[in-house]
Amino acid sequence: MKLELGYIDIKGIRFGDHNAVEDHVLVVNPEELLEPVLADPLIKTAHFEIANPGESIRITPVKDVIEPRVKVEGPGGIFPGVISKVHTVGSGKTHVLRGMAVVTAGPIVGFQEGIIDMTGVGAEYTPFSKLHNLVLVMEAVEGTGQHEYEKAARMAGLTTAVAIGELARDLTPDESVVYETPTIAEGYQEPLSNLPRVGYVMMLQSQGLLHDTYVYGVDAKRTISTLIGATELMDGAIISGNCVSACDKNTTYHHLNNPVIRDLLEAHGKTLNFVGVIITNENVYLADKIRSSDWTAKLAKFLSLDGAIVSQEGFGNPDTDLIMNCTKLENNGVKTVIITDEYAGADGKSQPLADADDLADAVVTAGNANEMIVLPPMERVIGTLNFVNKIAGGHDGSLREDGSIETELQAIMGSTNELGFNRLSAR
Report whether 183 contacts 35 (CB < 8 A). Answer: no
Print pLDDT tens along the chain (427 aa): 899 999 999 999 999 999 999 999 999 999 999 999 999 999 999 999 999 999 999 999 999 999 999 999 999 999 999 999 999 999 999 999 999 999 999 998 888 899 999 999 999 999 999 999 999 999 999 999 999 999 999 999 999 999 999 999 999 999 999 999 888 898 899 899 999 999 999 999 999 889 999 999 999 999 999 999 999 999 999 999 988 899 999 999 999 999 999 999 999 999 999 999 999 999 999 999 999 999 999 999 999 999 999 999 999 999 999 999 999 999 999 999 999 999 999 999 898 999 999 999 999 999 999 999 999 999 999 999 999 999 999 999 999 999 999 999 999 999 999 999 987 776 6
Report whether 215 contacts 224 (CB < 8 A). Answer: no
Report whether 16 contacts 27 (CB < 8 A). Answer: yes
User: Is residue 86 helix, strand or coil?
Assistant: coil
**For the chain, domain boundaries:** 2-411
Q: What gap in Å lies between CA 67 and CA 8, rounded to an integer?
A: 12
Report whether 341 contacts 418 (CB < 8 A). Answer: yes
| Beta-bridge partners for 407 | 373
Report whether 210 contacts 147 (CB < 8 A). Answer: yes
Q: What is the structure's pLDDT at 61?
A: 95
Residue 213's contacts (CB-CB under 8 Å, 6 or more residues apart) are 204, 205, 206, 219, 220, 238, 239, 240, 241, 242, 250, 281, 313
Q: Residue 66 belongs to what H/E stretch?
A: strand 57-66
Q: What is the structure's pLDDT at 426?
A: 66
Strand 372-375 to 132-140 pairing: unpaired
Report whether 325 contacts 203 (CB < 8 A). Answer: yes
Q: What DSSP string runs through 7-33?
A: EEE--EEEE-SS-EEETTEEEE-HHHH
Q: What gap in Å lies between CA 134 and CA 18, rounded to an integer?
A: 15
Around Cβ 427, how many Cβ atoms within 10 Å? 4
Tell me which residue of 136, 160, 167, 170 sits closest to 18, measured CA to CA: 167
Tell me which residue of 96, 102, 90, 419 sits closest to 258, measured CA to CA: 419
User: Is residue 95 helix, strand or coil?
Assistant: strand
What backbone torsions phi and psi does residue 80 show, to the nearest 5 degrees? -65, 140
Report the amino acid identity of residue 73: E
Q: What is the structure's pLDDT at 427?
A: 61
Please identify every residue annotated as catalytic. Answer: 243
- E-strand ranges in 89-189 read 92-98, 100-105, 114-117, 132-140, 175-180
User: Would you give the DSSP letter of residue 393?
Assistant: T
Tell me which residue of 27, 1, 2, 31 sits closest to 16, measured CA to CA: 27
What backbone torsions phi and psi does residue 376 show, to the nearest 5 degrees? -70, 160
- E-strand ranges in 132-253 read 132-140, 175-180, 197-205, 213-215, 218-219, 226-228, 238-240
Q: What gap in Å lies between CA 55 and CA 118, rounded to an integer?
A: 6
| Beta-bridge partners for 50 | 134
User: Is residue 279 helix, strand or coil?
Assistant: strand
Strand 307-311 to 335-342 pairing: parallel
